[in-house]
A and B are shown apart, each in its own frame.
Chain A
Amino acid sequence: MEIKILGGGCANCRALEAMAKEAVAALGVDATFEEVTDYAAIASYGVMRTPALVIDGTVFLSGRVPDRAEVRRIIEGLGR
């Protein structure tokens, strides 16, 4: 799967990315990571609050750093 972290490189974005990477590693899912920092690109996803988590083109989270379990659930649900 294709995982994108949307945000201007703030601390929250890095926290979200770290969680997603952790979940991917734990679940053994095959995924690529990309950081999207371009504001026009962020807007094209309809995201107004960063950080946001986009997987395969769908926005799953925006405007908050979730807890580990939630990220894991999202990725697990898609991995099947």
Chain B
Amino acid sequence: MTVASGTSRAVALRPWGWVAAGAGLWAALFVANEMVWDRLVFDGFGLDGRLGDAVHFFLFDTGKILLLLVAVVFAAAVLRTFVSPERTRALLGGRRRGWGNLVAAGLGVATPFCSCSAVPLFIGFVSAGVPLGVTMSFLIASPMVNEVAVMLLWSTFGWKVALLYAGFGLVLAVVAGFVIGQLRPERWVEPWVLEVKAAASVEGARPSWAERFTTGRAEVRTILGRVWPFLVGAIAVGAAIHGWVPQDFFVRYAGPSNPFAVPIAVLLGIPLYSNAAGVIPLIEALHAKGLALGTVLAFTMAVVALSLPEMILLRRVLRPRLLGLFVAVVGSGIVVVGYLFNAIF
């Protein structure tokens, strides 16, 4: 029936129409963000000098980053409807160490999880026969290398820094997982975890495009809802640093000439909990005032990959020894990455 098929075709195309409309609106807002704040802050309120610069930086950056986040999170969420942890686990089950670590780190980037899911994921992977070191590669890569981090680094430091960050992050996840795997970590897992018989997960039906876009929209809402206080806080502090901290303030204490700057930054970052959106606007300002790039990036990695709340959650399944080992291996890897960055830039 031509009429029926015509209608169903229109229904199938409708979600694409919404996405196109959204993209148009997004582009208009992006352009407006450039123009509005110049007019308003400098001409409208007549602010100039430090205060004007700081206010302009805050408003412009908040608008720009929020818009970029919306686009990137939406696109990534839609792409990710093609990947699920169930499929990831099936891909990783029975993988050897080495290759397995590499595949796990790659899949970690493609499979996001909120830190409250770290424990169920860990149990799910281990009970399905994924080696511990391979599971660790996954758990390290996922929070550290993701679209939000890469996009923010790209827009603040350029594509070279963003790609190097992603590359180093992946290598770090592979190596750290491999090293932990070599140390027979099974002895330091809480015994009950190894006895869990996880049910095989049933995979749902293939989602339609409309459902994929709905997932994307929901993801934008969840992620922005979670991230915006961090983001606005970081940009506000960053704006204050831009405006009032003297130029080259940090060079005296933590510039490239101080060999301890990187490890200190990592030690400071480990207990802190934030996501990339809450750190990168801040480190951009710190970098502008003389902190070396490797130092601020090492700080970023430490903040997003390791945190006290996540450790407390993981403590339920890992003995303190393995937890300590995890922090030590990942932390030293981050220090190495920091030095490498400082050597390159």
Instruction: Enumerate chain B residues within 8 angstroms of A10, measured Cβ to Cβ.
Output: 114, 116
Q: Nearest residue in B to A41 (C-beta to C-beta)? A: B196
Known: A12-B114, A39-B120, A40-B123. A48 touches B86 (CB 8 A): yes
Number of interface residues of A (CB under 8 A): 21
Known: A39-B317, A64-B218, A65-B218. A7 touches B116 (CB 8 A): yes
Q: Are A49 and B113 in contact (CB under 8 A)?
A: yes
Known: A63-B85, A64-B218. A50 touches B199 (CB 8 A): no
Rounded to whole Å, the gap between the CB of B299 and the closest CB of chain A is 27
Q: Classify the interface of chain A: helix, strand, loop or mixed.
A: loop
Give the contacts of B107-131 with A (CB-CB under 8 A): 113-114, 116-117, 119-121, 123-125, 127
Interface contact tally, CB-CB below 8 A: 75
Q: Are B123 and A12 in contact (CB under 8 A)?
A: no
Q: Nearest residue in B to A58 (C-beta to C-beta)? A: B202
In the complex, whether B192 has a CB less than 8 A from a CB of chain A is yes
Q: Are A48 and B222 in contact (CB under 8 A)?
A: no
- Docked complex Cα distance between A40 and B341 (Å): 42
Q: Are A50 and B117 in contact (CB under 8 A)?
A: yes
Q: Are A43 and B117 in contact (CB under 8 A)?
A: no
Q: Nearest residue in B to A8 (C-beta to C-beta)? A: B116
- Docked complex Cα distance between A43 and B85 (Å): 13
In the complex, whether B201 has a CB less than 8 A from a CB of chain A is yes
27 A/B residue pairs, CB under 8 Å, sorted by A: A8-B119, A8-B120, A8-B313, A10-B114, A12-B116, A39-B119, A39-B317, A40-B123, A40-B196, A43-B123, A43-B124, A43-B127, A43-B196, A44-B198, A44-B199, A46-B202, A47-B124, A48-B120, A48-B124, A49-B114, A49-B117, A63-B117, A64-B218, A64-B219, A65-B222, A66-B218, A67-B214
